[in-house]
Structure 1
Amino acid sequence: MGGSLAFKKELINDDTMKYFSSRVSDDTALTKICKEAGYKIVYVSESQPIINSPDDFATFNEWSIRQTALSISSDKKIFYLGIIAYFSQIWVFAMAFALIQLIGPIALIFLAPTILGEIKMNGRLKDRKYLYYAIFLILPFIYLYNLLMASRKMEIS
């Protein structure tokens, strides 16, 4: 499996090629090379590939955990920052609904980051469906699960 990644050819020289070749994940290697060169990494919606994959959920889940384990192995801070970020999102989301009972609908203001994130995500999609809003709400739970499972991996194959 793999994705597509476009980058400037000036990024790869003898030193960066040596670093790139020694890394397990090309994504994390290129990210570090780009940042050290002072480049920004951007999303180009026109380059979004169409993915035709016969994989089932179990295969996808295994791949996802493996990719996360690779990221964690490149920098341990990724694990801790991920735990903080995803747990915080879940906490704010839960507190917004809990606070509705105490202070009323004004507590929905805590959902503003989630709503803005959903709007941004939906704007990137070619096929916009309301189901994606529900999926976006459960992503922090999925990401947290993925991060915890990846942190338990002793071997990446």
Structure 2
Amino acid sequence: MGINMMEFAPTRFVWGGSVAFRSDLMDSSSLEYFSTAVSDDSAISKICSEKGVKIAYAPAASPKIVVMDNKKTFLDWAERQVAVSIIFDKRALIGGIFIYAGIIAYMVLMIYLSIFYGLIFLTGFIPYILNLINSGMRDTKNALWLIPIGIFLPFVYLYNIIMGAKTKEIRWRG
């Protein structure tokens, strides 16, 4: 979900291991704020916003993340990430709902049109399929799993955003 949000300029944020910024971004008041923040990513994002510094996204700089979590620990982590993002910027909630509800509505519409008006509407899935192919080229080891997983991801992401928005307490790992 983070990568999708990074691709959309209004929801772009600073994200961990793929971050670089000029030292002059951190003046004394910024360093003070940063030192007390719950999330370093969100704090730097807020500092950039307040100073009018645009956050760029370089897909080639995205780190490959390999974790050994199970489904529950992964969803807990994802809900924490979303909750922290929403606390710092409500646009993460609005943008996330807009993006993933839109993707789901588009998929349902293409299926409906294909069934009732002709298979030509399956061409509406070409951008989605190209995205899955692109993802498969980035991770060739798991490429065969990307299509079935990719179909359900917008639903998982929308659920995650809703659960993150409902979070009242953040429990950190460990």
TM range (shorter): 0.7 to 0.9
Alpha carbons 2:46, 2:88 under 8 Å: kept: no
Q: 1:101 aligns with which of 94, 112, 115?
A: 115
Report the aligned-residue RMSD: 2.5
TM-score, scaled to structure 1: 0.82
The equivalent of 2:159 in structure 1 is 145
Does the 8 Å contact 1:118/1:136 carry over to 2? yes
Aligned residue in 2 for 1:116: 130
Q: What SS does the aligned partner of 1:127 have?
A: helix
Q: Summarize the Cα distance change of 1:80–1:6 in structure 2 as closer, same or farther, 3 Å threshold.
A: closer
**Corresponding residue to 1:7 among 13, 20, 23:** 20
* In structure 2, distance between residues paired with 1:29 and 1:156: 17
TM-score, scaled relative to structure 2 = 0.75
Mapped to 2, the partners of 1:110 and 1:66 lie a distance apart of: 34
- How far, CA to CA, are the matches of 1:77 and 1:37 in structure 2? 17
Q: Which residue of 1 aligns with 2:56?
A: 40
Q: Which moved more, 1:131-140 or 1:34-43?
A: 34-43
Partner of 2:105: 91
User: In 2 relative to 1, CA 120–34 (structure 1 residues): closer, same or farther, beyond 3 Å?
Assistant: farther
Quick one: distance in 1 between partners of 2:77 and 2:168? 15
Q: Is the alpha carbon distance of 1:39 and 1:77 closer, same or farther for their aligned partners in structure 2, counting shifts above 3 Å?
A: closer
**Which residue of the other structure, out of 129, 132, 150, is the alignment partner of 2:143?**
129
AA aligned opposite 1:6: V
What SS class does the counterpart of residue 132 from structure 2 fall into?
helix
Moved more, 147-156 or 54-63: 54-63
SS of alignment partner, residue 109 of structure 1? helix
Kept in 1: contact 2:100–2:154 (CA 8 A): yes
**Equivalent position amino acid for 2:146 in 1:** Y
SS in structure 2 at match of 1:101:
helix
Structure 1 residue 129: Cα displacement: 1.8
Structure 1: tracts of 5 or more residues without a match? none
| Letter matched to residue 41 of structure 1 | Y
Q: 1:134 to 1:118 in 2, by over 3 A?
A: same
Contact 1:114 1:137 in 2 (8 A): no
Distance (whole Å) between structure 2 residues aligned to residue 112 and residue 78 of structure 1: 27
Query: Identity, % of aligned pairs?
Result: 33
Q: Quote the Cα distance in structure 1 between the aligned partners of 2:114 and 2:64.
A: 41
